[in-house]
Structure 1
Amino acid sequence: MEFTEGGVTAAQGFTAAGIYCGIRKNKSKSDLAMIYSSVPCTVSAVYTQNLVKGAPILVTRKNIADGKAQAVICNSGNANTCNADGEEKAQRMCEIAAKELGIAPQDVVVASTGVIGQVLPIEPIETAAPALVKALSPTGSEAAAKAIMTTDTEVKNMAVKLTIGGKTVKIGGIAKGSGMIHPNMATMLCFLTTDAAISTCALNAALKEAVHVSFNMVSIDGDTSTNDMTSILASGLAGNEEITGDGEDYRLFVKGLTVLCTALARKVAKDGEGATKLLVCRVTGGRSEKDARLVAKSVICSSLFKAAMFGADANWGRVLCAIGYADADVDVGTVDVAFESKAGRIEVCKNGAGIDFDEEEAKKILTQDEINVDVALNGGEFKASAFGCDLTYDYVKINGDYRT
């Protein structure tokens, strides 16, 4: 297995595009994306658990109930959430895309991202649709990735390839997400494609497995968005024997999908609003997987800890504090903590108590842009990792005038 070029167009059968249509005021930023498969695909998706859901999620759920889809259309700049005409507009987006592509509206996955509670203007999308379809290209993944960005500063566009049943299978993805990120299903928006032949049931299971350890372990600010969605389309054009259930081929596919989703999740975490550092909490020795996950995410979500990391302050007490309120089965008297980066590694806590360490050395380690916080619970065999970022002045600035 290895990373490869192409993003969502790496897999056979897929083209993509991204253009400016006029939803955003800033004409320098594209705001309408499309992904298209030359053949009908098996599809799966997971959605936000927020009770307030964007209209596109409600429409997509209906559209893919039969396990089939062939295209994705997504706008940025407007979330189409909490609007009286939201579902009507989301459905209209499907109809517009379908008409230009020559497919059925129910075979379209629709998504939106941006400001909540503002009416989505449909006219710019309708006017731009012919140009969007004309722009579809086997090298269009990066353009699509840019078109779904909101406060993101980095494009999230990746792919992996692996061998399944003697055939080369590719899995690609684009994602957006920088703020309002604390998912309970997927994350922000992520669109995945693959040319693997896989049944709907197996694809559903694989996506949930991959999301469980990747996107569901990301937190930027503790806010679960209304529009979170991760979807995957499988064209089957790789020619492998169809994966229909658990087995060697299924496990290989899940591994590849998990590697890709984890890489995208790390990119999302590192690109958190105002962030300067990626934080990864790696927990070992949990008494259960649940305990390890609870601890890892509790540390990543701690505002005090995140602020300390921004200041390169080795305040390990904030790590212990977060472990203490994680509601996990932990003996705090057995916990060890260490900080690690490309500048080195330093132990700061042993058996739940502080130990002597060089503060200057610790500061040097914590000034790097990627920091691992290693927590050894020493109570069992389970482990988990969570992904987040530091809390900076700029996070408040960005969200203080987000609409203006």
Structure 2
Amino acid sequence: VKSGGAQAVLINSGSANACTGRRGLEDARRLSNILAAALKTNSEKILLGSTGVIGKLLPMAQIENHLPILIAALSPMGLEEAAKAIMTTDTFPKAAIIRSRVNEKEITIAGIAKGAGMIAPHMATLLSFVLTDAVISPPALRRALKDGVEQSFNRITVDGDTSTNDTLLALANGKAGNSPIREKTSGFKQFSALLSGVLLSLAKMIARDGEGATKLVEVVVENAKNHEEAQMAARAIAESPLVKTAFFGADANWGRILCAAGYSGATFDPSKVDVFFDTIDLVRRGQGTGVAKEEQATLIMKNNEYRVRVDFHQGKGRASIFTTDFSLNYVKINASYRS
């Protein structure tokens, strides 16, 4: 990673190879060396991604025996198969692709990701790999990726837990033949927007596929004192177990939303707060708008996707986070994760 160049990524599912001591590190180095030799490249150009149970060693014999098969099966059409192979508790593979003209050439950006549990901002127990044929300078790609993460993977939460194994890699092979994309150019702005779109698509798939999730809810806090305080409040609401169980039960219990905003650390006047479920104003100036509005909000909460918007009327800060409900199935999945 430090060199700024890579030729291959080896990903395994089932073992995180984290908290495995010296043996885990030696196993990782051994796999890098074996794959590098097979591909006739330097081991420093081999990147690894692992996901699964923390503290579990890699099944070295199984991986080593299958490396020749993996290499022989390499294909430009293998993206979806790769997305399937890295799944753990995911219920569907996650892939996104976009094509557009940048610097007078058509470029492609494609990405895959896995993740359904231990999902929270910064980033989550997720693996994501993005490939592009664009010609782009390493600093520009790094900047575009960093900006894209803030607009995508750092805006989702399923259970509030983060992981030991977050990995997001972007690799560019330059095959598109466009003039080089560099920072602070119109081409960079185009590329950055395209990359952010791919990352957001993947992030929303991960949130939608949250363990046991039945709802995808966008929590928006607006007109907060500043962006940081809007983010604090949005995250507290999105991660509140009481709010998330209310989402599951389609219970328009707006008091839980105000409660979470209150302990978030954001400063606001409760008597000025409005709360909306999509277009239904459930709270105005800190007070409920009545049973009829709650009934309308309950109908909205039966949808698979909707938005909760909280207006502080305090400033110009705004933030949004995608979250899910907590269902009975979430408990079942995590109670039997290793069995």
- TM category (shorter chain) comes to over 0.9
Instruction: Give the conservation status (yes or no) of the 8 Å contact 1:187–1:215.
Output: no
Instruction: Give the conservation status (yes or no) of the 8 Å contact 1:186–1:211.
Output: no
CA drift of 1:377 comes to 2.2
- Which residue of the partner structure matches residue 348 of structure 1? 282
Counterparts of residues 165-204 of structure 1 (less than 5 Å): 165-185=103-123, 188-204=126-142
CA drift of 1:210 comes to 0.7
Distance 2:155 2:125 in 1: 9
- Which residue of the partner structure matches residue 390 of structure 1? 325
After superposition, give the CA deviation of every residue in 1:332-366 in whole Å (9 maximum; x if it has no partner).
332211112xxxx3210112221123333222211
Of 111, 117, 138, 2:76 maps to 138
Instruction: Give the conservation status (yes or no) of the 8 Å contact 2:6–2:45.
Output: yes
Match status 1:89 vs 2:24: no
Instruction: Give the conservation status (yes or no) of the 8 Å contact 1:294–1:327.
Output: yes
Instruction: Give the conservation status (yes or no) of the 8 Å contact 2:281–2:293.
Output: no
Match status 1:245 vs 2:195: no
Match status 1:282 vs 2:220: yes
- Which residue of the partner structure matches residue 322 of structure 1? 260
CA drift of 1:99 comes to 2.4
* TM-score, structure 1 as length reference: 0.80
- Which residue of the partner structure matches residue 67 of structure 2? 129
After superposition, give the CA deviation of every residue in 1:88-121 in whole Å (9 maximum; x if it has no partner).
1112222232223222211111011111111212
Instruction: Give the conservation status (yes or no) of the 8 Å contact 2:124–2:162.
Output: no
CA drift of 1:383 comes to 2.1
Distance 2:125 2:151 in 1: 12
Q: Secondary structure at the match of 1:69?
A: coil
Instruction: Give the conservation status (yes or no) of the 8 Å contact 2:224–2:313.
Output: yes
After superposition, give the CA deviation of every residue in 1:184-209 in whole Å (9 maximum; x if it has no partner).
14661111111121111111111111
- Which residue of the partner structure matches residue 297 of structure 2? 362
Distance 2:225 2:107 in 1: 36
Distance 1:333 1:170 in 2: 50
Instruction: Give the conservation status (yes or no) of the 8 Å contact 1:156–1:175.
Output: yes
CA drift of 1:74 comes to 0.3
Segments of 5+ residues of structure 1 without an aligned counterpart are: 1-63
Distance 2:35 2:135 in 1: 25
Distance 1:320 1:93 in 2: 51
**What amino acid is the match of 1:394?**
N
Percent sequence identity over aligned pairs: 46
Instruction: Give the conservation status (yes or no) of the 8 Å contact 1:284–1:384.
Output: yes
Distance 1:239 1:291 in 2: 44
Instruction: Give the conservation status (yes or no) of the 8 Å contact 1:282–1:384.
Output: yes
Distance 2:253 2:193 in 1: 36
- Which residue of the partner structure matches residue 12 of structure 1? none
Instruction: Give the conservation status (yes or no) of the 8 Å contact 1:170–1:196.
Output: yes
Computed over aligned residues only, the root mean square deviation of the Cα atoms, in angstroms, reads 1.5
Q: Secondary structure at the match of 2:157?
A: coil
CA drift of 1:215 comes to 0.5
Instruction: Give the conservation status (yes or no) of the 8 Å contact 1:183–1:228.
Output: no
- Which residue of the partner structure matches residue 44 of structure 1? none
**What amino acid is the match of 1:391?**
F
Q: Secondary structure at the match of 2:11?
A: strand
CA drift of 1:230 comes to 0.8
Instruction: Give the conservation status (yes or no) of the 8 Å contact 1:178–1:220.
Output: yes
In the alignment of these two chains, the number of paired residues is 337
Match status 1:70 vs 2:70: no
Segments of 5+ residues of structure 2 without an aligned counterpart are: none
Change (3 A) 1:185 1:389: closer
Counterparts of residues 5-404 of structure 1 (less than 5 Å): 64-84=1-21, 85-185=23-123, 188-340=126-278, 345-356=279-290, 357-404=292-339
CA drift of 1:284 comes to 2.2
CA drift of 1:328 comes to 2.0
- Which residue of the partner structure matches residue 21 of structure 1? none
CA drift of 1:129 comes to 0.6
Instruction: Give the conservation status (yes or no) of the 8 Å contact 2:83–2:95.
Output: yes
Instruction: Give the conservation status (yes or no) of the 8 Å contact 1:275–1:389.
Output: yes
After superposition, give the CA deviation of every residue in 1:22-62 in whole Å (9 maximum; x if it has no partner).
xxxxxxxxxxxxxxxxxxxxxxxxxxxxxxxxxxxxxxxxx
* TM-score, structure 2 as length reference: 0.95
Change (3 A) 1:122 1:329: same
CA drift of 1:310 comes to 0.1
Distance 1:397 1:234 in 2: 40
